[in-house]
Amino acid sequence: MLEPHDTEACRHCGKPLPSRSGRGRKQEYCDSTCRSAARRIRDRSKDVNESLTFSPRKVNIDDVTETAAPADLTDAARRLAERLSAPEASPLDSVVATRDLARAVDRAMRAAVDRARATGHTWQEIGDVLGSSRQAAFQRFGRPLDPRTGTPMTDKMLPGAADRAAALVADLTDGRREEVRRDFDETVAAGLSATKLAATWAQAIGMVGAYEGMGEPVPHQAGDHTVVDIPLSFEAGDLTARVAYDGQGKVAGLFLRRPDTA
């Protein structure tokens, strides 16, 4: 009579494996999900070119400190609740508290994505959870290195690009065409006159209806340009405004795109 194997732990997640009897290969993982995750981690450890690996990447949950501190979220949420419930509080105080909470949530999200990547999850899996493409997830949370210098591309991002892009799009939606064009570089200025801007915006309205509002700007670095994507909501659909800035802070590109296009 064959005795059951001793209960052991999954080699990936550490959970106890169920006891079983009979012949056959010894069980090492809970299921195919753990087996696949372990294989991805092994594959990444082979032939890794350290010069192309971002050194500050977190390797386990304990290494994540200030970016994921639960106290940050708790404090920010508490301050917002206090501002919203206090009759004497200024509406602007509520705006500031909401901004602080949004920033704390963004830091926590980035730390959570770092942990997911460190434990073997793919950008496709992360994109699926976030309801976006794997490319969009990577552009928002990835930490690519510039192959020319070996330095993180995020270090080159234009400071304040997200706020500047949001202000530019606000000028566009409000009809302030010359304000939109204020920081255009020579090429964009030559190709996008105030008249053409107005025609392009009218075309968008004709396609998806009246403009309703903008979402959170998402900046990322693309080569030598800082690119900011801003989701825009309309009466009958959504578009994404993309603003590209060069190294001097000039607008090197302005586009209205469907959200599902690269």
pLDDT, tens digit, for every residue of 15-32?
A: 676 665 555 556 777 766
Beta bridge partners of 218: 229
For residue 11, give both structure tokens. 């080699």
Least confident of 15-24, 86-95, 167-176, 203-212: 15-24
Burial class (CB in 10 A: 0-12, 13-18, 19+), 179: middle
What pLDDT shows up at residue 91? 85
Amino acid 66: pLDDT: 43
The CATH number that domain 157-257 falls under is 3.10.450.590
At 147-160, the pLDDT tens digits run 888 877 777 889 99
Name the DSSP class of 123. H
Alpha helix segments (H runs only) across 7-153? 32-44, 70-85, 91-118, 123-130, 134-141
Among residues of the chain, what percentage have pLDDT more than 70?
A: 74
Spans of all domains in the chain: 1-47, 54-151, 157-257
Whether 183 and 254 have beta carbons less than 8 Å apart is answered as: no
Among 73, 79, 71, 70, residue whose Cα is nearest residue 97: 79
Instruction: Determine the pLDDT at residue 194.
Output: 95
Q: How confident is residue 165, by pLDDT bands cut at 50, 70 and 90?
A: very high
